[in-house]
């Protein structure tokens, strides 16, 4: 039996509910401290996993945008259904605590912050279980999925109508990504052997706190290699923003704030046109949440870009040590009867960045005042560069631009 899973664009909303119980004040405080510790541990693990998965995917070349935390959500949920070596491999690769209850609580705390809607920004996520009509999940796994991970549940006729089932799943994905991801599963991926699909969809759209002026955008050279240039629409601006230098990797970083608190995009630009590979290789050395310690006046130029990525992640995850779950050796007996395995994990992601902000099928804002006494820095993203989108220190998207397009 095949279990298909996909991750698309960000992370999934999790709402974890524990039974309420009256406790003395000191115990409440201790409980709150422990909850924060669990959340911090899950965030750190998710960010570390993000770097490793990005590095595996980036080996393919070209423009890249992925949401490792989205994949991590589905893998963490799958771990609740695993036992033995299968569970151990997922635990190690995701760097999670062996305590399943703590993991569920940590993901609840993490993912509950990734649901946001206002007039300035939208961050929406959803999980869904699509099961074969006659397929029965273990009660414990279903409770974790629909409770802690707040997944909806539906039944489809994979056996008799795999193409019709594929269309239903794709319509669900399209709905939750505002039409940006139209066909997550391509023909042939869903078959009559499919018994379960774990689906995760996330949509993000936000404006810059300080937009670029469209009249300043103009065609400028961009190095696609040391010796090759193309002309691309490039945005220009002078902003008060957070800035950092990374001497060990010969690169600079700036943080662009969105117009909602705790949402930002960090851009990492190598100092040489050929420096991207060195920067990518060294990502594991960096604290991604603390790349820009200095507040400065920055003269910034960055190309407009749109990227659509389509990745089948099975091979990449196998490189990270998640192997058995994709084979007949998989032990998912806490999820369903023996014989269940994951055929693949598919992720399709879209991101668009222009003068007004970002759409990614996340966001931050902070009010800054001009102080002419600030140090003046120059960052010119006229060469292949990296970007990361965060909310509350959680890496939602990672990618690189090697050939911009608008």
Averaged pLDDT, 177-183: 83
Residue 360: the pLDDT is 56
Regarding beta strands 121-132 and 151-156, do their DSSP bridges make them parallel or antiparallel, or are they unpaired? parallel
Domain that holds residue 231: 207-306+352-401
Q: Do residue 319 and residue 293 come from a single domain?
A: no
| 358-394: pLDDT as tens digits | 665 421 111 112 223 346 788 899 999 999 998 888 8
Q: Provide the number of structural domains found in the chain.
A: 2
pLDDT, one tens digit per residue, over 284-310 is 888 877 788 888 999 999 998 888 888
Asked if 279 and 290 touch (Cβ cutoff 8 Å), the reply is no
In a domain, 26, yes or no: yes
Q: Which burial class, exposed, middle or buried, applies to 395 when counting CB atoms under 10 A from its CB (0-12, 13-18, 19+)?
A: buried
- Same domain, yes or no: 169 and 295: no
Percent helix, strand, coil in the chain, to 5, is: 30, 35, 35
Q: Is residue 176 part of a domain?
A: yes
CATH number for the domain harbouring residue 181: 3.30.497.10
pLDDT at 395 over 80: yes
Q: How far apart are CA 334 and CA 328, in angstroms?
A: 15
Q: How many CB atoms lie within 10 A of CB 45?
A: 20
Q: What is the mean pLDDT of residues 186-211?
A: 84
Residues 74, 142, single domain; the answer is yes
Instruction: Give 1-14 pLDDT, tens digit per residue.
Output: 434 332 233 222 22
The reply to whether 406 falls in a domain is no
Q: Count each helix (H run) and each strand (E run) in the chain, helices first.
A: 8, 17
Dist CA 2 CA 132 (whole Å) = 11
**Same domain as 169, residue 35:** yes
SS3 199: strand
98-157 tens-digit pLDDT: 999 988 888 887 777 777 777 778 887 777 888 888 888 889 998 888 888 778 888 888
Q: Contact at 8 Å (CB) between 94 and 36?
A: no
3-state secondary structure 263-324: EEEEEEEECCCCCHHHHHHCHHHCCCCCCCCEEEEEEEEEECEEEEEEEECHHHHHHCCCCH
Same domain, residue pair 276 and 189: no
Check whether residue 234 and residue 115 sit in a common domain: no
94 and 229 inside one domain: no
* Per-residue pLDDT at 14: 20
Share of the chain above pLDDT 90, in %: 30
| pLDDT attached to residue 31 | 66
Computed over its alpha carbons, how large is the radius of gyration of the chain? 22
- The answer on 330 and 289 residing in a single domain is no
pLDDT in tens, 305-353: 888 888 888 899 999 999 999 888 889 899 888 888 888 888 888 888 8
Pair (26, 144) in one structural domain: yes
Residue 19 has pLDDT above 70, yes or no: no
Q: Are residues 34 and 64 in the same domain?
A: yes
């Amino acid at each position: 039996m095949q279990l298909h899973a996909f991750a698309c664009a960000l992370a999934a909303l999790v709402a974890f509910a524990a039974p309420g119980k009256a406790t003395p004040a000191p115990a409440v405080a201790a409980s709150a401290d422990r909850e924060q510790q669990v959340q911090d541990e899950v965030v750190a693990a998710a960010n570390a996993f993000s770097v490793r998965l990005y590095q595996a995917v980036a080996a393919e070349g070209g423009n890249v945008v992925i949401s490792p935390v989205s994949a991590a959500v589905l893998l963490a949920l799958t771990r609740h259904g695993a036992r033995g070596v299968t569970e151990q491999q997922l635990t190690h690769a995701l760097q999670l605590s062996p305590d399943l209850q703590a993991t569920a609580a940590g993901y609840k705390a993490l993912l509950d912050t990734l649901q946001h809607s206002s007039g300035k920004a939208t961050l929406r996520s959803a999980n869904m279980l699509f099961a074969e009509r006659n397929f029965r999940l273990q009660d414990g796994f279903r409770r974790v999925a629909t409770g802690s991970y707040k997944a909806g549940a539906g039944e489809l006729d994979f056996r008799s109508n795999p193409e019709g089932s594929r269309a239903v799943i794709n319509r669900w994905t399209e709905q939750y990504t505002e039409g940006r991801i139209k066909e997550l599963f391509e023909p042939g991926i869903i078959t009559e052997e499919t018994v379960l699909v774990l689906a995760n969809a996330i949509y993000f759209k936000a404006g810059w706190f300080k937009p670029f002026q469209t009249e300043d955008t103009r065609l400028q050279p961009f190095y696609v290699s040391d010796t090759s240039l193309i002309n691309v629409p490039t945005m220009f601006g002078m902003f008060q923003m957070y800035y950092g230098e990374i001497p060990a990797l010969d690169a600079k970083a700036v943080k662009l704030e969105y117009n909602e608190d705790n949402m930002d995009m960090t851009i990492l630009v190598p100092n040489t046109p050929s420096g991207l590979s060195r920067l990518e290789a060294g990502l594991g050395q960096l604290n991604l949440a603390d790349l820009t310690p200095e507040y400065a006046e920055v003269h910034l130029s960055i190309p407009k870009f749109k990227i659509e990525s389509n990745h089948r992640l099975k091979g990449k995850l196998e490189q990270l040590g998640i192997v058995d779950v994709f084979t007949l050796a998989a032990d998912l007996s806490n999820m369903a009867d023996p014989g269940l395995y994951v055929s693949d994990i598919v992720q399709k992601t879209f991101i668009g960045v222009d003068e007004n902000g970002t759409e990614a099928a996340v966001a931050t804002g902070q009010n800054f005042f001009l102080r002419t006494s600030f140090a003046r820095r120059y960052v010119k993203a006229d060469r292949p560069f990296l970007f990361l989108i965060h909310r509350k220190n959680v890496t939602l998207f990672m990618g690189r631009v090697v050939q911009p397009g608008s």
